Amino acid sequence: MISKLIGRIQETGAPVVVGLDPTLKLIPEQVQQKAFSEYGETLEGAAEAVFNFNKAIVDAVYDIVPAVKPQLAMYEQFGLPGLSAFVRTVSYCRSKGLIVIGDAKRGDIGSTSAAYAAAHIGRITVGARTYAPFDEDFVTVNPYLGSDGVKPFTDVCASLNKGIFVLVKTSNPSSGELQDRITDGRPVYEWIGEKVAEWGGACMDGSYSNVGAVVGATYPEMGKVLRAVMPHNYILVPGYGAQGGKGSDLVNFFNEDGLGAIVNSSRGIIAAYQKEPYQKFGAEHYAEAARAAALDMIADIRGALENR
């Protein structure tokens, strides 16, 4: 699956993921009102607004980016209708040729992680039939429980050519509380990075592994260290834009071959219309604003890589 993602990155020239993380505050009033007029101010109404919003964003960017990253929490918050909008979003994105990274951050003891892996990137058997319940291409995984909580995911990566990104150094301000603590002479994030390199060895797909890592754009120096620790693992980099990361911060996350990283922006793209310099598009043209913001982000990262 990572070779498929790399292929799409090379075709588009854009190591960029659009984070489909809609809260109602990010969805223009007219989209909400249209959904509410049909379904009322209900969870179904919210879910319909979410899906329609996503669909317009996807229509505006699918030809310029390789992948999207819907954040499960933003759908789960609207209950079953919200998760139904997640399923519709995944399906629509795949129909447009986009690779889908489910940002689920799941992780549990072995037998339970196996159920999560089946739910998101694997298959589940019911009687004589088999289903792919949420059917993402990649999913993010939390490593707090250790190898036996991750292995069911890497097993699916190996058997079904799917992928995961393991949380190593997250983008949020308090990530360092645990992740930066020194153990055996190095920070926890570095030790987890070593484990990612180890776990990924069993799931190579070309020069890179189907097991990648999440490292926040907000910590570029750590990105440099982790790039060296995990030479064959892709890094999914959240935190660009709204969380403060800039293009010049990102070169550390890439290998010399120009590969090895893919950068996510969520609010900075999907809600571009709410902020300068994209406010001129207006709420009516939020999808065009998203496309413009995505193009600027791609140019920013390409420029930084060319000038490295």
The residues annotated as belonging to the active site are 105
Q: Is 230 in the site for its own copies (CB under 8 A)?
A: no
Kindly identify the residues of this chain, within the stretch 190-219, that bind its own copies according to CB under 8 A. Answer: 191-192, 195
Task: Candidates 71-79, 92-100, 250-258, 279-287: pick the segment binding its own copies (CB under 8 A).
Answer: 71-79
Please give the size of the binding site for its own copies, defined by CB under 8 A. Answer: 72
Which is nearer to its own copies, 73 or 228 (by Cβ)? 73
Among 97, 172, 206, 277, binds its own copies (CB under 8 A): 172
Q: Is 129 in the site for its own copies (CB under 8 A)?
A: yes
Among 52, 54, 89, 170, binds its own copies (CB under 8 A): 170
Q: Is 265 in the site for its own copies (CB under 8 A)?
A: no
d(CA 190, CA 198): 12
Kindly identify the residues of this chain, within the stretch 2-41, that bind its own copies according to CB under 8 A. Answer: 21, 23-24, 32, 36, 41
Which is nearer to its own copies, 81 or 205 (by Cβ)? 81
Among 149, 193, 212, 260, binds its own copies (CB under 8 A): 149
Q: Is 108 in the site for its own copies (CB under 8 A)?
A: yes
Which is nearer to its own copies, 2 or 179 (by Cβ)? 179
In angstroms, give the least distance from the CB of 197 to its own copies.
Answer: 14
Shortest CA distance to 142 belongs to which of 68, 213, 210?
213
Shortest CA distance to 308 belongs to which of 245, 262, 246, 258?
258
Q: Is 147 in the site for its own copies (CB under 8 A)?
A: yes
Kindly identify the residues of this chain, within the stretch 87-106, that bind its own copies according to CB under 8 A. Answer: 87, 105-106
